[in-house]
Amino acid sequence: MGRPLRKVSQDLIEQFLPSVTFDKTLIQDPHADFDQDAEELWLEIGFGGGEHLCGQARANPQVNFLGAEAFMNGIALMLRELLETGIENVRLWPEDVRPLLDSLPKESLSRVFLLFPDPWPKMRHHKRRFVNPKNLERLAYLMKPGAEFRLATDHSDYLEWMVEHMKASKDFTAQFDWDNLPTTRPEDWIPTRYETKALSQGVTCTYMTFKRL
């Protein structure tokens, strides 16, 4: 997927990825694949280059983290960061996140991050947008009551779509005022590569936090 991998990235994928890839045989008991038996499991969907996931894992060493990403160049960046920092509370799902969502146990997640998901701007591609009733229902099933869902975008049309779908969901409640959408990154949100690029081009980013009811 994406550009061909450089040799160094390919080496990282071949030599290091297997040791941090989530063991699918443990999907019904995901903490069993981590070195620590943590209280909480947090999931980042589409972690891109992994800067946010690594930052959160470092800031929250008592939490176990699952990161899903299908883009091999991003996974390679993430692997380099994991190797350099020695972070141990992260396991990767290096493919489409949807089979993971189909298989994790009910109420197994305490926090979910979906930061700058692909906007699929063309009308005929809107059905590919991750934020849709089916995925929201599935996330709600996987999240504990009171769990946090963080959602961000820099795309005005996708933002409207997100607002419409999140308002329609009976499973989530906004932690902000709908008439005043947050456009300043909260302090404990770590900037992502995609966001940094958008901000440098003068694009407004919106940062929404929801609670699972």
Q: Which stretches of the chain bind ligand SAM, using CB under 6 A?
A: 46-48, 68-71, 74, 96-98, 115-118, 192-195
Let me know if 23 is a catalytic residue. Answer: no
> At its nearest, how many Å lie between ligand SAM and the CB of residue 145?
25
Residue number with CB closer to ligand SAM (118 or 164): 118
Q: Are 47 and 112 in contact (CB under 8 A)?
A: no
Helix residue ranges per DSSP H, 121-206: 133-142, 156-168, 193-200
> At its nearest, how many Å lie between ligand SAM and the CB of residue 154?
9
Residue number with CB closer to ligand SAM (54 or 115): 115
Residue in the shown chain whose Cβ atom is closest to ligand SAM: 46
Q: Among residues 30, 38, 20, which one has the least CA distance to residue 93?
A: 20
Question: What is the rounded CA–CA span in Å between residue 133 and residue 72?
Answer: 28
> Residues 23, 29, 118, 188: which is the catalytic one?
118
> At its nearest, how many Å lie between ligand SAM and the CB of residue 188?
16
> At its nearest, how many Å lie between ligand SAM and the CB of residue 114?
8
Question: What is the rounded CA–CA span in Å between residue 47 and residue 139?
Answer: 17
Q: Are 2 and 79 in contact (CB under 8 A)?
A: no
First-residue to last-residue Cα distance in the chain: 36
Residue number with CB closer to ligand SAM (36 or 196): 196
Give the catalytic positions in this structure: 118
